[in-house]
Amino acid sequence: MLDRKDVKVNFDLEKMDESIQGTALQTKSKGPKSKKFYIESYGCAMNFNDSEIVASVLDTMDYGNTQKIEEADLILVNTCSIREKAEDTIRKRLKYYQLIKQKNPHVKVGVLGCMAERLKSTLLEEEKIVDLVAGPDAYRDLPSLIPAIEGGEKGVNVFLSRVETYDDILPTRLDDNGISSFISIMRGCDNMCTFCVVPFTRGRERSREPYSILAEAEDLFRKGYRDVTLLGQNVDSYNWVNPETKEEMTFAQLLVLVAGVHPDLRVRFSTSHPKDITDEVLYAIRDHENICKYIHLPLQAGNSRILELMNRTYDQEWYLNKVRRIYEIIPDCAISSDMMTGFCSETEEEHKDTLYVMEQAKYSMAYMFAYSERPGTPAQKRLTDDVPEEVKKRRLNEVIRLQNQLSYAHNQNDIGKVFKVLIEGNSKRSENDFKGRTSQNKVVNFPKKEGLGKGDYTHVRILSGTSASLRGEIV
Ligand code: SAH
Ligand code: SF4
Ligand code: F3S
């Protein structure tokens, strides 16, 4: 039998309620607006969540949100730098905004997020139509930057903070389903994976104050949300130290705390770095029905030499042991991953190790990429991007093909089983079907039943599955 280690929460729950009430989790809306902003987001969930913080900050000004770009007085684009292609996409969007600006010269364009941080004021020189450049830690400064650009100046703030977590800002939810939402619990990243631009665009790691996280989760639950994902580049290194008592809160403790908001609030998290996910977290998942049985555990590459070049700080054996440990403690856990092909000097044999680990880990799903060298990263400075583009692509296709098979097998394995499903709305294909999600983060479509609707839980028996989704019936 596994020895059970309870996750202890060193916080007084009674006091916590008082503390939440005291948390200034509101931004003061300035009431009716005379101007409109439009915001477009690219990149990871954190960036999408940041756009909601930006929307909240702009709500304190004379700006209301619009979903129609042609109505906007201010166009904002929250950008990603993770791969070259991500930046290319944004440059294309800027060309499009230029056309809009030609028609309406009063329109201002602001670039936010990681590309703003990476390129700083050079972006203003390269892209003449850009009026505003604001990095991920500068959004509180928008109320002073925006009036300046309205007056014809250019505005830049790319200061990276060691403390900013926007913990007192309640994000304004933008085009979501009203059921699932994100809560950022930390910002930045202190890992130095050699391929990665994030430590440069988002700065040092810092954890958000837990009471404000809880207050946000409670607020979401009250508004009808039933599924929250705690976000960070590396959530398992969450560590908040109470400045007064010096008490520490770990990620496992935070998870348990958020799960305590309500048994009907599902809690997820992303992303876990394999080196940091602890047994404590695994026990928390096992012991709390509403902490989802799903872990995103990016592998990047299956070969130990490549992992070392990437500075991932684990090797193949260590990763596989972690996967075994997860399945041992949580047998019905689904694991997903990120994989990258053609990293510097990767040989054909080493690439096969990625395929090997994928098969061993039996991922339910994965995000897969060809390596894209990023300026300023340790890999760009010290290693040679020497795997030809067509080889990277071919290896990527092999990885994708294998993952399709693994996803299909994972879903076939669910046939006949009954899952508790959270209804998210109508299925894409038919008004007569609901779309829901299992704890394992799989989409299930099933015929509707009277009396049930969005935000309800129901039990569904799985009848069939493709590599992308499941089909079932209510039991
Ligand atoms: N913090 C997360 C990853 C964030 S970036 C983690 O550590 O797992 C999301 C994914 O993009 C990474 O997992 C990686 O697979 C991919 N990625 C990052 N940098 C990349 C690059 N230079 N080229 C291709 N893919 C990259
Ligand atoms: Fe990038 Fe590594 Fe940090 Fe993830 S953990 S954001 S891959 S440096
Ligand atoms: Fe992209 Fe920045 Fe996220 S580079 S993946 S938007 S942290």
Tell me phi and psi for residue 289, to 5 degrees: -60, -35
For residue 159, give Cα distances in angstroms to 136, 202, 248, 290, 376: 9, 10, 28, 38, 18
pLDDT higher than 60, residue 27: no
In this prediction, residue 31 carries a pLDDT of: 73
Interval between CA 48 and ligand 3 midpoint (Å)? 10
* pLDDT tens by residue, 251-298: 999 999 999 999 999 999 999 999 999 999 999 999 999 999 999 999
Closest ligand by atom to 192 CA:
2
Interval between CA 62 and ligand 1 midpoint (Å)? 37
* pLDDT tens by residue, 70-106: 999 999 999 999 999 999 999 999 999 999 999 999 9
**Percentage helix, strand, coil for the chain under 3-state DSSP, each rounded to 5:** 35, 20, 40
Share of the chain above pLDDT 70, in %: 93
The alpha helices in 23-156, defined as continuous H runs, are 45-58, 84-103, 114-119, 122-126, 142-150
Which protein residues touch ligand 1 with a CB less than 6 Å away?
82-83, 195-196, 198, 233-234, 271, 273, 298, 300, 338, 340, 369, 371-372, 374
d(CA 233, CA 446): 34
Closest ligand by atom to 369 CA:
1
* pLDDT tens by residue, 188-225: 999 999 999 999 999 999 999 999 999 999 999 999 99
* pLDDT tens by residue, 336-346: 999 999 999 99
Band (177; pLDDT cuts 50, 70, 90) = confident
In this prediction, residue 188 carries a pLDDT of: 97
Band (19; pLDDT cuts 50, 70, 90) = very low
Closest ligand by atom to 201 CA:
3
The arithmetic mean of pLDDT across residues 358-364, rounded, is: 98
Top-confidence residue, 271 or 22: 271
Interval between CA 334 and ligand 2 midpoint (Å)? 22
Q: DSSP secondary structure string, 123-184?
A: HHHH-TT--EEE-TT-GGGHHHHHHHHHTT--EEE-PPPSS---TT------S--SSEEEEE
d(CA 32, CA 53): 19
Cβ 311 under 6 angstroms from ligand 2? no
366 - beta bridge partners?
Answer: 337
Residue closest by Cα to atom 7 of ligand 1: 273
Domain boundaries, given as residue ranges, for the chain? 35-157, 179-288, 418-474
Whether 325 contacts 279, CB under 8 Å: yes
Chain-centre distance of CA 91, in angstroms? 23
Interval between CA 96 and ligand 2 midpoint (Å)? 31
Whether 399 contacts 372, CB under 8 Å: no
Closest ligand by atom to 233 CA:
1
pLDDT higher than 70, residue 25: no
Share of the chain above pLDDT 90, in %: 92
Tell me phi and psi for residue 168, to 5 degrees: -95, 5
- Cβ neighbours of residue 35 under 8 Å, at least 6 residues apart? 62, 63, 64, 73, 74
In this prediction, residue 11 carries a pLDDT of: 44
Dihedral of CA 223/229/230/233: which sign? negative
Average pLDDT, the chain: 93
d(CA 51, CA 76): 9
In this prediction, residue 32 carries a pLDDT of: 82
The arithmetic mean of pLDDT across residues 221-244, rounded, is: 95
d(CA 462, CA 54): 41
CATH topology identical between 179-288 and 418-474: no
3-state secondary structure of 20: helix
Closest ligand by atom to 83 CA:
1
The arithmetic mean of pLDDT across residues 349-364, rounded, is: 98
In this prediction, residue 20 carries a pLDDT of: 39
* pLDDT tens by residue, 148-176: 999 999 999 999 999 999 999 999 998 77
d(CA 239, CA 248): 7
Residue closest by Cα to atom 7 of ligand 3: 198
- Cβ neighbours of residue 299 under 8 Å, at least 6 residues apart? 274, 319, 337, 338, 339, 354, 357, 358, 361
Residue closest by Cα to atom 3 of ligand 3: 44
Cβ 215 under 6 angstroms from ligand 3? no
Chain-centre distance of CA 428, in angstroms? 23
In this prediction, residue 161 carries a pLDDT of: 95
Judged on CB neighbours under 10 Å (0-12, 13-18, 19+), 284 is: buried
pLDDT higher than 50, residue 16: no
Name the residue of 42, 85, 114, 234 to mutate for ligand 3: max ligand atoms within 8 A of Cβ.
Answer: 114
Question: Which atom, in ligand 1's list, is nearest to the CA of 367?
Answer: 15
* pLDDT tens by residue, 375-394: 999 999 999 999 999 999 99
pLDDT higher than 70, residue 15: no
Name the residue of 39, 42, 46, 377 to mutate for ligand 3: max ligand atoms within 8 A of Cβ.
Answer: 46
Q: What is the CATH number of domain 418-474?
A: 2.40.50.140
Interval between CA 44 and ligand 2 midpoint (Å)? 12
d(CA 394, CA 370): 9
Q: What is the CATH number of domain 179-288?
A: 3.30.750.210
3-state secondary structure of 330: coil
425 - beta bridge partners?
Answer: 435
Band (30; pLDDT cuts 50, 70, 90) = low
* pLDDT tens by residue, 430-442: 999 999 999 999 9
Q: Among the CATH numbers 3.40.50.300, 1.20.210.10, 3.40.50.12160, 3.40.605.10, which is that of 35-157?
A: 3.40.50.12160
Band (28; pLDDT cuts 50, 70, 90) = low
